[in-house]
Amino acid sequence: MTTQQAPKVTGGADTIKEIAEYAEFGTLDPGLLLDGAPQMPHLDVEPVTFERAEMIQVFAEIPMGSLQGLIPPALAPTNPSFVSWRGLHLPDTPWGPVTMAETRLVCRAGFRPRVFLVEGYIDNAEAAAEFARGWGFRLRVCDDVKLRRFHDETRLEVVAGGTRALAVRMVEPVPTNGGSFGLNANINFAVTPDGPKLVQAGADYVFHRADLGRPRIDAFEPSAWGRGGVVPVYPVSAVAGQADITFREIKFVSDPVRPALFGTTKIR
């Protein structure tokens, strides 16, 4: 005698029809992000791989309740809340060597963890324009962006307009395979052919060297990044390494004023 099993209940694209009243979302007016927003003439950028890139990512906790006012309504705050700094040195690009540093906020787009780009600095004007056009990166050009690796630490430093805008480090490195680094996709605010959108800009990493270490925050000037307001209070984690990094094609964009669960459009 065969026992018939009950059918498995699974979710679909229209499983969730509404969002609970107690759910929290960002309260930042997207109109405040329009000044200086990247202009993307199209959304069909091809993937680009940068070989032997150096990278660092440092996380720090920010005050509870402060994240909601720093992200647009499409995104949901996390609790506890974190700022994420990413530094990349790309030694071989079509525009020459490039070093860039980003300040990003950990959040959720629908159910998925993402990092919302506040602003970044980059030392190559041509690359800044290409990253803006292709992936919606908001980057200021600045000569003094440095990512340096030593045997006992990796440092990311930015000096802009005479201000020490950022100085973070990963110290006491421990070798790993990089598989558990938690390198989430960017959410970048940009003006597209369909109007202002949140653009998902993901990257894939194939590591040649990957280290986990202790985070150190030597300097951070909130007013030097976007609209300010980001205040780190406690360093949490740090990773660094060397990898082939592929900036992916754009697959999703979201309406900045609707919850991403309902306001996201698939591009590819």
Whether residue 38 is contained in a domain is answered as no
**CATH code: domain of residue 113:** 2.40.400.10
Q: How confident is the model at residue 11 (pLDDT cuts 50, 70, 90)?
A: very low
pTM: predicted TM-score of the whole model, two decimal places: 0.92
Q: Is 209 within a domain?
A: yes
| In a domain? residue 9 | no
Residue 69: pLDDT over 70? yes
Identity of residue 53? A
- To the nearest whole percent, how much of the chain has pLDDT over 70? 94
Full residue range of the structural domain in which residue 137 is found: 45-266
Closest CA to 99 of 136, 127, 134: 127
- pLDDT, tens digit (0-9, with 9 covering 90-100), for 95-143: 999 999 999 999 999 989 999 999 999 999 999 999 999 999 999 999 8
Residues 6+ apart with CB under 8 A from 58: 84, 85, 156, 168, 169, 170, 215, 217, 235, 237, 238
Does residue 18 lie within any of the structural domains? no
Tell me the two tokens of residue 223: 């007013």
Strand pairing category for 203-220 and 163-176: antiparallel
Average pLDDT of the residues of the chain: 93
Q: The tokens 């060597």 sit on which residue?
A: 97
Q: What is the pLDDT of residues 245-259, one digit of tens each?
A: 999 999 999 999 999
Q: Give me the pLDDT at residue 15, please.
A: 54
Domain count, the chain: 1
What pLDDT, on a 0 to 100 scale, did the predictor assign at position 228?
A: 95
Tell whether 35 is covered by a domain. Answer: no
**Does some domain include residue 220?**
yes
- CA neighbor of 223 nearest in space, from 136, 68, 103, 58: 103
- Whether 4 maps to a domain, the answer reads no
Do residues 105 and 70 touch, judged by C-beta distance below 8 A?
Answer: yes
Strand 81-90 and strand 203-220: pairing? unpaired
Say if 39 falls within a structural domain: no
